Structure 1
Amino acid sequence: MRARLILVFLLAPLGLALAAQRGSAEPGHPGYAGLEICNDTAVPQTLSLAYRDDGRWISNGWWSLSPETCERVLDAPLKNRFYYFHSEAQNWQFLDERISFCTAPGNFTIYGDRDCAIRGYNSAFFAKIDTQLPAALSGSDQAASAYVARLSSHSRPAPVGADAVRRLMPEEVAAADTAFEQDVTFQGCEVRSGDGRVICKLVMGAGQLCVTNDGMTDPAIIDRLQALAPGTPVRVSGESLTSGDLVTYASLTALTERDETRHDLMLEDLAGQWVSQADAYDLFVIEGAARRNFYGSVETMTELLSVQTSCNDATAAGAYLVAQAEDGGPTHCYRIMSLTDRELVLSYMPRGTELRYQRQNQPLN
């Protein structure tokens, strides 16, 4: 009898812990009655939200939040653990987590998170809101209060004198209808299925140069581009036709292959498949000047790459991997801390978050 009582007392803490775990998964456990986002920064912010609902992704916006105000962006019991947001403010920097969703000017509700540009939308990188609520508890009838997220967790004043993205310099690509000469990296050409139009992409320091067979460029140059291997370093000259922040359409008058720089060689050394040491499902494949990102066997996005001596306000000695969303989205900076035949170590700027990857030559499933 005494031994049985001792055993009961010894197992009691474990029983309480198991009961707590079971209780946290019971349907009647309180969840959250909605999602509220507060602007605890010193400036007005505009906000967009993305989340999964009934098996499909939804992004919507924009909400305007004055300083020290909150907005109830979802007014129903939460169904998910994770939600995603993006905020913008003049002269402020949003610290995203490279999670891309579609957006649009003005008020919008967009279903789906793929092919944003093809569907006529913009795209932006969002940050994660972790309600730390197990899925089994979400949407509980006993939900009492909203989960509160704060913008200051991912928003801060932009560094003085630094642009959010390094803009194209006049000597790189001039304004519309002016001549330019530029060292670029050829990425590839594609033929559109609808009209057979050829579009060739070349990657610059921050941004991309696009050339098409619209009659503005000598067809012989288009043919030469189509014959190049992805990642070939070239020098081009011509005239810019339309120039945005990150994408310039141009007519070319000359195209020559150039000698490889140390940055070209480093980009070449990065070619291959890399798998995160923290999450085996998180991986990417670099070919030429492009990075295709995957989670498991599902492709999430494609980015255009270049290697530079600096990026945004990061100027510490070393090389930086600059990644720009292929559809003209935000540009992101990674300091290359180490690159060997087997391992790649990046520091995601400006936070300095260390990311470790292992080279893997196995094909994707």
Structure 2
Amino acid sequence: MFWRTVIYPVALALALLLCGFVGPAWAGLEICNDTDVPQDVAIGYKQDGRWVSEGWWTLEPTACVTAIQEDLQYRFYYFHAKGKGQKFRHDRLSFCTQQALFTIGGDNDCEARGYAKTYFAKIDTGLGSKEHRQYLSTHSGPSVAETGFEPGTWGSPFSGAALFHECSQMFRGGVQFCNLIGAGRVFTVVEDNRTPAEVFKTLRRMRKGTPVQIEGDWVGLYDLSVELVLLSAQERAASDADRVLQQLQGDWRSESDRNDQFTILGGGRQNIYAGTPTSQEYLSVMQFCGEHEGHEPYLYTWDNQGGTGLCYEIKAVSKNVLELVYLPRGTELRYRRLELSQ
């Protein structure tokens, strides 16, 4: 079996450890191994209108490789990494691979052509970027088996879909915690040495509203807040509910009362009246809301201090207009996107 192995000389490796990943300027796509173990890396990219996959480069810890050695032509590229004791968080985007060194044209019918079908993660290089550096730790971390944390250690095993909301500082002791929102609940994960540090590292890199698949232990329930100890938090493909929530993002003003406004960002809503911020709420888009079902999607909102939840039927949502029906009264509420209602 043949591998492209990238190992820095001792002096350079020491410099990298002391100063980070620094060195001469590069062009194209550079991939760096900032994990603690050797990793085998493959990339996927478009060339002359056709998808191509290429690998493997073996990267020792602190090593980098310029996988594409020319100015980048596209915004999105793709990669896969594998290392002992590591779990790779892919985006369910498949390319063809094989165990030996390879350059394979086309991303379809992999198995029929004698290759393996392997899921890759997306690299967003940014609009107009000609070069980009990708670190492996963004999608690779210790597997559950390496953490020594078995399901059921801290509470009842739990898994489900959620949206990442934010990571904050508690007022007492400066303890970090992160919140995720899903199915009408806030999931709180406290940095107290039960959740692996690698999981917190993953959460802190996420943008508000990122769809996440979470696994861990359900420790306690307090009103509408659930305390979790997480085994893993992986980005997932957006669901229908996620896509509806994405349409709701932004600033809205009531057509019947111009003083009544709100802003939705991720899984949170800031209410504003006459220019003054009022209540803050969490929200979820669901297939049912309390005893209401059969007219999905529904919007469930609740005060971030644990107040009573409210149910709305999402009658219509477009680029310009949002129509809600407040339940159970059946009151119709109509909003226009703020920048379009000035």
Normalised to the residue count of structure 1, the TM-score between the two structures is 0.50
Work out whether 1:281 is the aligned partner of 2:259.
yes
Letter in 2 for 1:345: E
Percent of counterpart pairs with the same letter?
A: 31
Cα offset, 1:192, TM superposition: 3.2
**Partner amino acid, structure 1, of 2:157:** A
**In the alignment, does 2:291 pair up with 1:307?**
no
Does residue 189 of structure 2 align to residue 211 of structure 1?
A: yes
Partner in structure 1 of residue 206 of structure 2:
228
Query: Are 1:200 and 2:178 counterparts?
Result: yes
Q: Residue by residue, what CA displacement relative to the aligned partner does 1:18-45 show, whole Å, maximum 9, x if unpaired?
A: xxxxxxxxxxxxxxxxxxxxxxxxxxxx
Q: Separation in 2 of the partners of 1:305 and 1:266?
A: 12
User: 1: CA distance between counterparts of 2:252 and 2:221?
Assistant: 34
**What does residue range 3-152 of structure 1 map to in structure 2 within 5 Å?**
none
- What does 1:319-338 correspond to in 2, within 5 Å? 319-338=297-316
Q: Would the aligned equivalents of 1:208 and 1:247 in 2 still touch at CA under 8 Å?
A: yes
1:124-273 superposed matches below 5 A: 177-273=155-251
- Cα RMSD for the two superposed structures: 2.0
Q: Render the CA deviation track for 1:171-208: whole Å, top value 9, x for unaligned.
A: xxx9x811111111111111235532222111121211
Gaps of 5+ in 2: 1-151
Q: Amino acid of the residue matched to residue 299 of structure 1?
A: P
8 Å CA contact 1:292–1:302 kept in 2: the answer is: yes
Asked if structure 1 preserves the Cα contact closer than 8 Å seen for 2:313 and 2:324, the reply is yes
Note if contact 1:273-1:359 (Cα within 8 Å) is conserved in structure 2.
Answer: yes
Q: In structure 2, what is the equivalent of residue 147 of structure 1? A: none
**C-alpha separation in 2, matches of 1:213 and 1:272:** 31
The correspondence for 2:296, drawn from 305, 315, 318, is 318
User: Which residue is 1:356 aligned to?
Assistant: 334
Whole-angstrom distance in 1 between the partners of 2:201 and 2:274: 36
Q: Give per-residue Cα distances to partners, 1:228-265, cap 9 Å, x unaligned.
A: 11111111111122223411111101111111111101
Q: Aligned partners of 2:160 and 2:298: how far apart in 1?
A: 20
Structure 1: runs of 5+ lacking an equivalent = 1-173
Distance 1:224 1:270 in 2: 26
1:275 touches 1:283 (CA, 8 Å); kept in 2?
Answer: yes
Give CA deviations for 1:51-86 in whole Å, capped at 9, x if unaligned.
xxxxxxxxxxxxxxxxxxxxxxxxxxxxxxxxxxxx
Alignment-mate amino acid for residue 204 of structure 1: G
Matches of 2:232 and 2:171 in 1, distance apart?
28
Report the CA distance between 1:223 and its aligned residue.
1.7
Secondary structure of the equivalent of 2:289? coil
> What one-letter code is carried by the residue in structure 2 that aligns with 1:350?
P
- For residue 296 of structure 1, report the CA deviation from its aligned partner: 1.9
> Which secondary structure does the structure 2 equivalent of 1:361 belong to?
helix
Q: What CA distance in whole angstroms lies between the structure 1 residues aligned with 2:278 and 2:323?
A: 21
Does structure 2 retain, via aligned residues, the 8 Å contact 1:212–1:222?
A: no
Between the two proteins, the alignment pairs up a number of residues equal to: 190
Among 347, 352, 365, the alignment partner of 2:325 is 347
Deviation at 1:328, TM superposition (A): 1.6
Q: Which has the higher Rg, Structure 1 or Structure 2?
A: 1
Alpha-carbon distance in structure 2 between the residues aligned to 1:353 and 1:316? 18
- Counterparts of 2:220 and 2:171, CA distance in 1: 23
Q: Contact (CA 8 Å) 2:295, 2:313: kept in 1 or not?
A: no
Q: Secondary structure at the match of 1:309?
A: strand
Answer yes or no: is the 8 Å Cα contact 1:334–1:349 preserved in 2.
yes
Q: For the Cα contact (< 8 Å) 2:165–2:181, is it kept in 1?
A: yes
- Rounded Cα–Cα distance in structure 1 between residues aligned with 2:279 and 2:236: 30
In structure 1, C-alpha distance between the alignment counterparts of 2:266 and 2:317, rounded to whole Å: 17
Q: Distance in 2 between matches of 1:196 and 1:285?
A: 29
